[in-house]
Structure 1
Amino acid sequence: MTDDKLMDFDALYQGKSVAVGDGGEQLDNIPWRLDGPQPVVVEVADNGEFTGPVLESGCGLGDNALFLAERGYEVTAFDAAPTAIEQDKAKAAQRGLKVDFVVADATKLDGIASGFNTALDSAMMHCLSDEQRRDYLAALHAVCTPGALLHILCFPDTIRALFPLPGHTDEASLRRDLDQHWRVDRMEMRGYATSFTREQWAATMPPSVAALPAEGVDDRGRVLIPIWQIRAIRA
Structure 2
Amino acid sequence: MNAKDQVFTEDNSAFEPLYAGRAPVEGLGMRFGFAPWDIGEPQAVVVDLERDGGFRGRVLDAGCGRGGHAIYLAGRGHRVTGVDSSPSAIAQAEERARDQGAEVEFVVADATRLDGVEGGFATVLDYGLYHCLKDEQRVRYAEALHRVCEPGARLQLFSFSETAPPGLPPAWLRVSRANLEAHLGTHWRILDIRETSSATRFTRAFLEEQRDKAPEGQAAFDPSGLGEDERGRILLPMWNVRAERR
With structure 2 as the length reference, what TM-score do the two structures score? Answer: 0.85
Provide the rounded CA distance (Å) in 2 between the counterparts of 1:141 and 1:20: 34
Shift of 1:3: 8.7
**Residue among 122, 125, 128 paired with 1:123:** 128
Contact 1:6-1:20 at 8 Å conserved across structures: no
Q: Matches of residues 135-154 of structure 1 in structure 2 within 5 Å?
A: 135-154=140-159
Contact residue 52 and residue 75 of structure 1 kept, 8 A: no
Which of 156-165 and 56-65 deviates more? 156-165
* Corresponding residue for residue 23 of structure 2: 17
Number of equivalenced pairs: 232
SS of the aligned residue for 2:47 comes to helix
* Greater alpha carbon shift after TM alignment, 200-209 vs 79-88: 200-209
Residue in structure 2 matched with residue 217 of structure 1 by the alignment: 228
Query: Larger radius of gyration, structure 1 or 2?
Result: 2
Quote the RMSD (CA, aligned, Å).
Answer: 2.4
Structure 1: runs of 5+ lacking an equivalent: none
Look up the match of 1:75: 80
Per the alignment, do residues 186 and 75 of structure 1 end up closer, same or farther by CA in structure 2, a change over 3 Å counting? Answer: same
Cα distance in structure 2, aligned partners of 1:25 and 1:99? 34
Letter in 2 for 1:55: L
Match of 2:90 in 1: 85
Q: Classify the secondary structure of the residue corresponding to 2:201.
A: coil
**For residue 115 of structure 2, what is the amino acid of its counterpart?**
D
**Residues 142-221 of structure 1 mapped to structure 2, 5 A cutoff:** 142-157=147-162, 161-162=167-168, 164=170, 169-204=175-210, 207-211=219-223, 213-214=225-226, 216-221=227-232
Q: Which runs of 5+ in 2 are unaligned?
A: 1-7
Aligned residues with identical type, % of pairs:
41
Q: Structure 2 residue aligned with 1:228, among 225, 229, 239? A: 239
Q: TM-score, normalised by structure 1?
A: 0.89
1:40 to 40, 45, 50: 45
1:51 counterpart letter in structure 2: R
Deviates more, 1:191-200 or 1:222-231: 191-200
Aligned equivalents of 2:144, 2:65: Cα separation in 1: 19
Cα contact 2:30–2:210 (8 A) shared by 1: no
